[in-house]
Amino acid sequence: MISSAFNRFYHGVVLKQVLQVPLLTVEDVKIGGIPFTFSPAGVANTMHGKLDSVKQLLKALNLDYPKDKEGKPLSTTKIENTDLLQHIEAVIKMCADSGHEMDFVKREYENIKLQAGILS
pLDDT for residue 2 is more than 90? no
Q: pLDDT digits over 92-104, tens only?
A: 998 988 888 999 8
Higher per-residue confidence, 44 vs 112: 112
Identify the band that residue 60 occupies on the pLDDT scale cut at 50, 70 and 90. confident
Residue 46: the pLDDT is 66
**Quick one: pLDDT at residue 120?**
58
Q: Within 13 Å of residue 96, how many CA atoms lie on the same side as its CB?
A: 9
Query: No. of H helices and E strands in the chain?
Result: 6, 2
Domain boundaries, the chain: 4-115
